[in-house]
Structure formats: C-alpha cells, structure tokens
Chain A
C-alpha cells in the first residue's frame, strides 16, 4: 500500500470539499489509472470531471504533471515516477490554461 499525494485544481477541490493536497492509499502498482480510481472512490463527486465516465479517457482540458514532467499522454497503466509512489512528490491534476 502506497500513500500518494494528489493536488487538485481549485474547481475540483471545491467539489470535493477539500483544501490543499489529498492523500490517497493506493494498492498495487501506482499508475495514473490506480490513482484516479482511488481518487474517485474516495470522492465520487469527481467522477467524470477528470476522465470521461464512458471511455475513461482524460478530458481534453485536463493535464497530469509530476516531477516537473507532463505525463498527460502517457499510458494510464504506466508506473508513475518513484517520487510519486513514495509520496515525496505530488501527482498534479491541472486545468489547462485555455480560454483567455
């Protein structure tokens, strides 16, 4: 079991009624999919806001960063960086800057 830190954008923190980072327990390999599954299990109101409920694909204006790297287009089943797995760096869910 790993404890992963997740940083949400303002709108999603509001929906989830949390301030600051979220800490999630992730069983098994720490991947995008595993982290998002754990996030949605703990905060069901976030279902569909980060990835499509039907296809599971990342929404177009949402990005995933960690360790100063854009992981948005990585496979959802790729292992996340070791620092994220170890909880020393957060997994960032970012609302893309768009719309002026």
Chain B
C-alpha cells in the first residue's frame, strides 16, 4: 500500500513523520540534528530516499545534510556557500548600501530528474546549485548580478531567497522569490534572470510600478499548467496566467489577504489553499481561529476549512515553507505551525487532524508520496 513521508524542519531539529495511505496512524521519528534550526528538508522527486536538509545555528553557521535512505541516516556534505566574484552591495533597511553577507540556506529544491542535482536559496539572497549530491556548490551568479541587485532590500526576516520552482515542462525555466525584492524568472536554466513583478502593488514603495521591492512570501504552480502561478504576497493573494509576466489580485472574500504559504491541489489546478493571517504586525489568525481557505475557482472565491482545526484562542503562525500537498488519489494537505503542531487533511481540506502537537516551532513541511 502506498504511503507518505512528511519532512518537518523546526527551530530545534528535523522530524520525519510516516503513515500509510490512510494517513490516520503516524510514526514520528526525530529530532534529527537536535538543537539546530532546520529551515528546510526536501526529498528528490527522482529518488525518494535521497533527502537534503538545511541545518544551521547563529553560533556555528550553516551545514547541509544528505540522506540516502529516506532519513534514517545522514551524512554532512559541503556547506561552503561563497558569493562568486565578491559580495557586492545591496540596500540595508535604512536605504544605505551594505555588503552581501551569508547567513543561512532557507530552501532546498532538488531537481525533478536527477537526485544529485539540488538548488539552494540563501540569505543574503543568492541561488546555488550542486550537481554532485551536495559535495560542492556553485552560485548561479546571473540572479544576484541582475542590474536591480544593488536596489534589493531585506524584509523583516532578512534578504532571503525562500522559493525555488522548477518548471516540470521546461527544464530551462525556473522561478525564485526573494523577500523583499520580488519574483524572478529564468528561461535559460538559471544563467540570466528577469524580475516578474508587473501588477504587484506594495505599500511602502513610492513607485507603484516598481520593478523590484515587493515582499513575495510564496509562489506555487500546478505541474499540468505551469504558466499559471499563484502568489501569497506580504499583503494580497495574486495570480498570473502568463508565467509571471503580469499579475492580478485574487484575494476576493478572504478575511485577510496577509499570509505566508500558498499551495495548489495536486489534481485540481484551480484549487488553491492559503492560511490568512491577521496582519504583518500580528502574526496570528484572524479572531484566534485557525482556518485554511480553499478556492476551487482559481481565486477570488474562498471557503474556510475549519473542521478539526482550533477555532478559539489560537495565535500561531504558519510560515511560508510550512504547507505541502501529497499526490495520493484522495489528496492530502499538510501544514505546520509556529506552535509546533503539524496538521493533515486526508480529504483535500474538508477535515483536519493533528499528526503532532508539541514539536518545536515548525519552519517547513514537505511531503513525499511513496509507492
């Protein structure tokens, strides 16, 4: 019987949660790398036993771990993330120039076809690639050296490259998102990049048509229709039907259009999930009710999903990398909270149940659908 493996990164280690296709009874394994922040754990679509994990602390810096057996054992691989050709400068919060400085890897995106190829998104923003299973990393310099680079400014969480999307139909097309520079697309496998932020509107930017400066929180697409992108921005939920060339708002009847994650149903390209958060100063759900909102019309019309989720006195957040979907026939939706809960819905969001309630603050959730 098929099953799922949920990869959870937290403030104090990584956890691997497994279940059969029923997704009712769970085994919790961890913590791996106890005491370390694990911003992301990701599995290779080409080899589900190949995992990569980003492990860091403010004390001892950045490490990368790799597993070849589905997370049972791990080996440390290379963690030398160098800014090729020198650091250069971007803008600091106060608008003054500041040298690029490496802090951590936020996101790891394994290749869709090769287990040894993996991309890494850094703070301060840069994109790295390894073609040898993490034994070495090379910066894809065309992104950071884009002409707008010296004008990029950090969001509250830092100048972080947190989203990497590989187009399943076009191996040369990639997307990244950077807080608070915006979204970028490459059509030549990461060699050159262009900002794709037309139609985004952001408070605090004097120029309403600014090429960069938008605080994009997360982008998602459905593999069957990769030119349609969904975006949760700092404020506003957005959609593009032309691979990011233009965007329109689809926030519709959401109780708040602030939030972090966004995910697309694995079998329904027009079904989208978000978790509205009250505001950027109050990082908790409106009215203390943890609600996932689902649109089955590609945006604008949203339905709250509440069954099994706390509907009073809930003041957790759901971070940008902490939502995922499996690909079983009855699609599973997953998310983790800053309160340490990981929830699963085995029925496309209709009902929810906690897998774990008391983990450290959850930074990321990924799910692998196993044969």
Contact = CB atoms under 8 A, between A and B. Distances in A.
A48 interface: yes
A99 B249 CA distance: 39
Contacts of B62: 48
Contacts of A45: 63, 76
B283 interface: no
Interface in A17-42: none
Contact of B59 (A53, A54, A96): A96
A59 B35 contact: no
A54 B36 CA distance: 23
A48 B80 contact: yes
B60 A12 contact: yes
B2 interface: no
For chain A, the bracket of interface size reads 20 to 34
A41 B68 CA distance: 26
For chain B, the bracket of interface size reads 10 to 19
B85 to A, nearest CB: 13
A61 to B, nearest CB: 4
Given A48-B80, A54-B82, A61 B59 contact: yes
B58 A98 contact: yes
A71 B61 CA distance: 21
A49 interface: yes
A15 B76 CA distance: 9
Contacts of A61: 58-59
B82 A11 contact: no
Interface in B34-51: 35-36
A32 B63 CA distance: 23
Contacts of B61: 48-49, 59
A33 to B, nearest CB: 18
A95 B60 contact: yes
Given A11-B35, A11-B36, A50 B60 contact: yes
B248 interface: no
Contacts of A66: none
27 contacts: A11-B35, A11-B36, A11-B57, A11-B60, A12-B60, A15-B60, A15-B63, A15-B76, A45-B63, A45-B76, A47-B79, A48-B61, A49-B60, A49-B61, A49-B63, A50-B60, A53-B80, A54-B82, A59-B59, A59-B61, A61-B58, A61-B59, A62-B60, A95-B59, A95-B60, A98-B58, A98-B59
Given A11-B57, A48-B80, A49-B63, 17 more contacts: A10-B35, A11-B35, A11-B36, A12-B60, A15-B60, A47-B79, A48-B61, A48-B62, A48-B79, A49-B61, A53-B80, A53-B82, A54-B82, A61-B59, A62-B60, A95-B60, A99-B58
